Structure 1
């Protein structure tokens, strides 16, 4: 069985010679389109195009050519040195070694020809072909077979490593069932998930995965959301709440009204996000790509020089000796270890993060997270739960408290801010008889509207100042979040609202400090509330009463001191800061399409403790990548010098190439097993 590879219409090979091609091969693209590829570097597919991990018997088959070649090589070496036979000489001996070579060498020779036709002359296949054919030309048959044999084994291990990466990402992300059960004329009917229309009712049995986003119609249902959030704890949803594709129903039959088309579900967007992540390279990957293209032709010409130049300087020049040294040089110089293991390492980092409910939009953000010096975060919804409760209502006696609350509730019903939800829960249903007009949201301040020709203001005290509303309250003296209200140009009073700190917020700050990372909180909430939360958690710096432009200026100040800054927020209201920061991190990516579009990293379960986890994954990924770079350069450098000086044989060359590549690949896949 040969090592097949994929070529595009122009004949370019789609893996192994360029690291970005390997990255794509190891990526999630085929998980999205279900394409069928008959390829040793691909998963097997069933008739429906489903992707599966390579089965045990296929792994065995992949090793058959190498095993047969190894057996023939060992027999030949035995006949050469241990049990000499008269018939094993001359052309018989030569043909024996040729057969052992062709079994593993033919795919490589074929790839070398295809690469040359495609315009990629200086490929790893050409290096291996020249080196092994050269070894045969000078009579070093065993070494020629051995080089190609071990290279073939390396290709198989590479295939297995890439297959494992693809299997991990598929298990993680490809959670949508192909078929769903809908209720049609009061009867269950199974249809393709992609054919389900918005508004249809899905019936979901216990243990089944939901195929599309929707609204729960049943009174209550419990779901396993681990595939989406990395959170193993079951999540109970109530009637009217949103449920998402990929969630698994746990306890009883549930009915869901489809609200989003199959291709527009949150899971579809996440799948697209991971696919796009493979196109955004880390600087290290881009460097290796450029380096390999320059490095390979240089070593080819150096090998030619090693073979021919000594002729002009040495009196006892022996062509076969210097050709042997040049061949060793070529084998050692093959850049497999770098070209394969580095993108595999970054993909492993993205896979490990995704498994923990953290989505990176590119490997470049893994590198950036590894060097973060200051984490800047919003307060509401990031370090606090964002679930507000009304604590008290302080209105002046001249106003009818119930009537004003009805107006406030009606105005706030036009907002999606958590404060609006708290007021709605406190007041109740919106009075539909009220005629609210000219509603305007003033960024960072609040809302303005008119009721029966009279103006109502609902927001913070800065909103009161902007419209010259006089008030006799000292905002600084109030600890809680405060909603000031003015009606008909008169100050009505204020509503106090409190938010709870998330359970893992304290752990988050402690872990960030252990990583020697400064933590800064920037919030539009009032300074007393921000200071209270910051003091509770031990945050280094905290600033409240900030408008969006104030947050931008604060981040600019930090970046002016050459700090690498990550901003954590909702990715929508703080879009300017997210764009300005080195890394934008969004909390609750499953709750907002805009969040997925805006941020560089998405934490799917709203847990701030995933921030230090993301930093650790970035650090571990970068560490593994540089371990591989150092290993490859040091070993290859030493053996290259020894080979040029005639002190290394082809066996050392095999280790410097295939051995280092295998070690680098095994090191790269380690990150997929790590616990963070």
Structure 2
């Protein structure tokens, strides 16, 4: 059973084993879903929500699910025909009662059993108890057809609820099929099939066209094209070159390729994504939690009011007939079942998570859908979020040193960095940096690198690095709208690299879409202000701040939060993790990017498209709209029929509509979100 008490939420892997709670510890300080670390143990396969509903995974066909209702419905029709065509005698009366009881058992017995189970667990006032009391009471006053019909329609409603939940889960659970159980491993000249979980780092996997990669690795073949839909939500081919990283879940499209395993099976990027998806259902939205608490208070009040409706009128009504008022009380109980609320609301949120997953967006809990619906400001990093992060050296200017030496010394130092700017310089050097001794490398966050190259002290970074070490440089370069890497050798300014990044194709459309829904846009970057201003002007971003260290980004976000604004921060780098954690909604741009940012984020956009920020907000708004529609529908219809039932103007059939009918309408409304195009 899933416990909605935040102190007792745990996460489980696909085999039902409890996992350590490091992810929640990182993000839950802002969601109040505090989690304690836990020991490994097995969790039962079937999980149920606090409302008592169990929608466990089942291998039953639709016919098998409906079979009890079909049997009950058939017997009910025969019994009604028996009532109409046979005279009433003491013998036929007993046959009639027995027949209705037999018709009741297939649909009524499971509910009565659930009522006892709930009582045994201490949950006395459940909807199962309400249905049991109402239908057994209907039998007690001779309303046999209505007693069976209530349970029959309730059972049909439960099947539809189960099917709806399964449909809502399908977009998410489909991810579980993306990891192959086996892979072909090369042992010398022989290709051997081996369990993926047993393959170790360093082994070579042979991947044929159409096969999925089971583990993360490094491509050994010269080139290969992959379908990355499992990781990005899109089937657009992604061409990889030799020594580039390839990830579990990618599908080889063309020729046979070889991949060297670099990550254990349980640590692959896809494994982490699956873990995040499975955790998502445990984090409830405030609306969901409120409805559950409300149902626990509401149900005993309803039982008490039903008793009052049945008993109290004997003190005020002259021609009081117990059976008439009991019937009204039973109608009241059936109407009062909170099914429409406790099923359709979680289903609405689950549908929202499923719709997001279908669009390549991983939402780590329904609470974050609510947060996205209320976002007022989207704060974005520049590199890798709005720009491609694929840098090219445009120009090299050398001072008192040859350009060739400046390039090879700088490239040698940059081999100790993973920054995309460094990669651009290394590519520009074309191998001239090899066989050069590099020692004492120090990475200065937000500034650049310091180290010794062939015995010379070299500084390579932005202008802040020069200022930090009091090295004068050509200040004219501050105004150029390019990323600049300034070089100093032995404390002397020695030149610079002009490096350009490219804006993502959908970045402008993303900003325009956010403005249309009145969301303010802010860009924060460690790059110099001139570069940041140029990008902000091209994209029409509301505010842009450059020359920021990681701690400065935190300060900017804190300043926005002090204005009582709901903020989403979008980033992709390791140094973005603190700001992602600080924002109301932290969004990791790039399912193939920094692990630290992905784990800290509340939402992961897997295909690197800025437009998906707008999509995530839109899904959050639609989900919340549907949830509120369901709440309004359920309360309005139930309130009307409750009043009519208490006044004797509604029969058990109206009660069935107010319960099962409204639940079905709410379910159909909830699953609409899965059909919407975003």
Q: CA deviation at 1:344?
A: 1.4
Within the alignment, does 1:141 sit opposite 2:147 as a pair?
no
Within the alignment, does 1:361 sit opposite 2:364 as a pair?
yes
Counterpart position of 1:342: 345
Within the alignment, does 1:269 sit opposite 2:272 as a pair?
yes
* Larger deviation, residues 496-505 vs 239-248: 239-248
**TM-score of the aligned structures, taking structure 1 as reference length:** 0.91
Counterpart position of 2:38: none
Counterpart position of 2:558: 556
Kindly report which structure 2 residues correspond to 1:79-158, keeping only aligned pairs within 5 A, or say none: 79-81=82-84, 83-86=85-88, 89-158=92-161
Residues 51-70 of structure 1 show CA distances to partners (whole Å, capped at 9, x for unaligned) of xxx5xxx2112212211211
Among 234, 238, 248, the alignment partner of 1:235 is: 238
Secondary structure in 1 aligned to 2:526?
coil
For 1:151 and 1:562, locate their aligned partners in 2 and report how far apart those are by CA, in whole Å: 46
For 1:321 and 1:606, locate their aligned partners in 2 and report how far apart those are by CA, in whole Å: 65
Among 613, 624, 635, the alignment partner of 2:615 is: 613
Q: CA deviation at 1:85?
A: 4.0
Change (3 A) 1:425 1:506: same
**TM-score of the aligned structures, taking structure 2 as reference length:** 0.91
Q: CA deviation at 1:420?
A: 0.4
For 1:629 and 1:158, locate their aligned partners in 2 and report how far apart those are by CA, in whole Å: 17
Among 58, 61, 64, the alignment partner of 2:64 is: 61
Change (3 A) 1:584 1:394: same
* Larger deviation, residues 131-140 vs 433-442: 433-442
Contact between 1:455 and 1:488, CA under 8 Å: does it hold in 2?
Answer: yes
Kindly report which structure 2 residues correspond to 1:426-437, keeping only aligned pairs within 5 A, or say none: 426-429=428-431, 431-437=433-439
For 1:287 and 1:265, locate their aligned partners in 2 and report how far apart those are by CA, in whole Å: 37
Secondary structure in 2 aligned to 1:449?
strand
Within the alignment, does 1:424 sit opposite 2:423 as a pair?
no
Within the alignment, does 1:253 sit opposite 2:256 as a pair?
yes
Change (3 A) 1:117 1:38: closer
Kindly report which structure 2 residues correspond to 1:190-589, keeping only aligned pairs within 5 A, or say none: 190-396=193-399, 398-429=400-431, 431-451=433-453, 454-589=456-591
Residues 332-391 of structure 1 show CA distances to partners (whole Å, capped at 9, x for unaligned) of 111111111111111111111112111111111111111111111011111111011111
For 2:242 and 2:440, locate their aligned partners in 1 and report how far apart those are by CA, in whole Å: 33
For 2:314 and 2:87, locate their aligned partners in 1 and report how far apart those are by CA, in whole Å: 38
Q: CA deviation at 1:210?
A: 1.2
Contact between 2:171 and 2:357, CA under 8 Å: does it hold in 1?
Answer: no
Contact between 1:65 and 1:104, CA under 8 Å: does it hold in 2?
Answer: yes
Change (3 A) 1:640 1:559: same
Secondary structure in 2 aligned to 1:591?
coil
Counterpart position of 1:7: none
Within the alignment, does 1:627 sit opposite 2:629 as a pair?
yes
Change (3 A) 1:435 1:250: closer
Secondary structure in 2 aligned to 1:67?
helix
Considering only aligned residues, what root-mean-square deviation do their CA atoms show, in Å? Answer: 2.3
For 2:438 and 2:263, locate their aligned partners in 1 and report how far apart those are by CA, in whole Å: 30
Secondary structure in 2 aligned to 1:556?
helix
For 1:44 and 1:151, locate their aligned partners in 2 and report how far apart those are by CA, in whole Å: 19
Contact between 1:28 and 1:271, CA under 8 Å: does it hold in 2?
Answer: no
Secondary structure in 1 aligned to 2:575?
coil
Contact between 1:306 and 1:644, CA under 8 Å: does it hold in 2?
Answer: yes
For 2:316 and 2:562, locate their aligned partners in 1 and report how far apart those are by CA, in whole Å: 59
For 1:279 and 1:32, locate their aligned partners in 2 and report how far apart those are by CA, in whole Å: 14
For 2:423 and 2:318, locate their aligned partners in 1 and report how far apart those are by CA, in whole Å: 92
Contact between 1:569 and 1:586, CA under 8 Å: does it hold in 2?
Answer: yes
Among 639, 642, 661, the alignment partner of 1:640 is: 642
Q: CA deviation at 1:534?
A: 1.0
For 1:38 and 1:512, locate their aligned partners in 2 and report how far apart those are by CA, in whole Å: 41
Change (3 A) 1:326 1:571: farther
Q: CA deviation at 1:472?
A: 3.2
For 1:269 and 1:430, locate their aligned partners in 2 and report how far apart those are by CA, in whole Å: 38
Contact between 1:571 and 1:584, CA under 8 Å: does it hold in 2?
Answer: no
For 1:446 and 1:243, locate their aligned partners in 2 and report how far apart those are by CA, in whole Å: 28
Q: CA deviation at 1:452?
A: 6.0
For 1:373 and 1:471, locate their aligned partners in 2 and report how far apart those are by CA, in whole Å: 41
Change (3 A) 1:244 1:20: farther
